[in-house]
Structure 1
């Protein structure tokens, strides 16, 4: 067929051209969009004001205090001389700060590992349906619901060297009283043990919820391929709850870093600063030594560390949502 006999290319009609153009926005639609935007901002603004007043202002004020010589005299004179980074230099060169950093790391790592291992074991145990399983799960939440000061007071009585219930039980089997809270080598272990007891309900509850989301069909299919017992846990359960595990660990780290009540109630940071952490160090500097500027500097270090783990938590949460 020659070129002269070929049909000419079709050009788009006016109707097709018009269909590709977005229709004009009517005045009524524009007003509706404006009203919708204003309504959204009316819901957001109160929350933004609340966050700015009750969270933003304290953080900014704490940062400013860390650069000032802020003491009890400031409350009477209203003057807090600007000292720059002098408070941070004093904090970082202090022997107590080094001790508190090491204790914070040991306290956090020991608490998180034990809480997670025991919590995961209990979550796997309660996944089995047996009589009173619901009642026992509810009973497990009691340590989490009790006020921390009340819990620390009870544990201080239990761990007392002279009249503590634990040492009395050990005495029945011929073991001498153990100085749980007054020995520099044992005090941190005792505090970690109490914090583990308080954190187990949180780990068990979240991990149990994650286990409930694993489809039973995966275990049935895995059993046909020989994946039972530990193999079923390693190849089916663990991959299915990996995102939940990450969230539990990161949140546990953030919560543990700021623990003050338990340590103050049990040992007060002693003996010989053996249980002094960054949180208790900030408390002592501010409310015992009344050096609010130095206490603010220590707490800012803790805020930065917590912020890093908070960003990790947000990243993990977004990744879980995407998956």
Structure 2
């Protein structure tokens, strides 16, 4: 005989009452409100101190903005005339070439020397922390003081560099580091490399510290030591940090102004004139704020294009 058991009623799942659901909604609303309250100061700061100046600069680039504007309040709209005037000027091509040479030379020098220092200080040795701290001094010194010291070092008559080169027999006559169109740009690059080494070394050293030692131990078992360990272990793991260092370095170098003004002022004969100094000269020496803003807008676009192109290329290389 087969016994059939009747199925009991399905269990009833208690649903939250209207009071509980409303309390949960109010709690979520308060949480979202608190999140926005924390974000509002940061958003306001970015909009006021970054967004407004950039928008204002782009607007000025299309206006005839001069000293008269501060009196009359009128800045006639000229469209792309300022950009045409800038691009067709005799100094524009020179400033573009100088900017490219200055940027490439500075980035290569800063990155290579900074990486070598980072690899050197990764090894533990007595007074290593003290020496690493001393290397931060160029980054901490005010640029006015730094350029004044370098101007004395590079002086053609009694400068330390010329005296040292003559003492070891490398030169017979003093080198006109800051007054010769042939070497002035090289001198400015050297000083900018000196300033940028601590920044590169600090970031790259931090990246090296995050690479597990177990990878090197495992690589040593397979014969990956020395240069092989660097190419197969260090460099792949350091690539994200390298991307940040290069992008920030290029953006910072494109807008370097104080070093060039302190050493050469853009001379001699425009040998160290860059887009940054051209923008400064037009705005604060010729008081043509419209064309000065146009040059700085070109710099902004170039910086953004480089950052986007490089980051996308690097991301594609990492994915592959």
TM-score by length of 2: 0.90
- Residue 271 (structure 1) aligns with: 268
Shift of 1:169: 2.2
Shift of 1:314: 6.8
Indicate conservation of the 8 Å contact 1:119/1:204, yes or no: yes
Structure 2 CA distance for partners of 1:303 and 1:212, relative to 1, 3 Å: same
1:185-264 matches, within 5 Å, as 185-264=182-261
Query: May I ask how many residue pairs the two structures share in their alignment?
Result: 309
- Residue 3 (structure 1) aligns with: none
- Root mean square deviation, CA, Å: 2.6
Paired with 1:106 and 1:23, the residues of 2 have a C-alpha distance of 71
Indicate conservation of the 8 Å contact 1:243/1:320, yes or no: no
Paired with 1:312 and 1:208, the residues of 2 have a C-alpha distance of 26
Shift of 1:149: 1.5
Shift of 1:311: 3.8
Paired with 1:70 and 1:275, the residues of 2 have a C-alpha distance of 27
Indicate conservation of the 8 Å contact 2:96/2:275, yes or no: yes
1:1-323 matches, within 5 Å, as 26-174=21-169, 175-311=172-308
Please list every run of 5 or more consecutive structure 1 residues that lacks an aligned counterpart in the other structure: 1-12
Indicate conservation of the 8 Å contact 2:153/2:160, yes or no: yes
Shift of 1:95: 2.1
Please list every run of 5 or more consecutive structure 2 residues that lacks an aligned counterpart in the other structure: 1-8
TM-score by length of 1: 0.89
Shift of 1:22: 10
SS in 2 for 1:105: helix
Over 3 Å off, 4+ runs: 13-16, 21-25, 309-322
Indicate conservation of the 8 Å contact 1:286/1:295, yes or no: yes
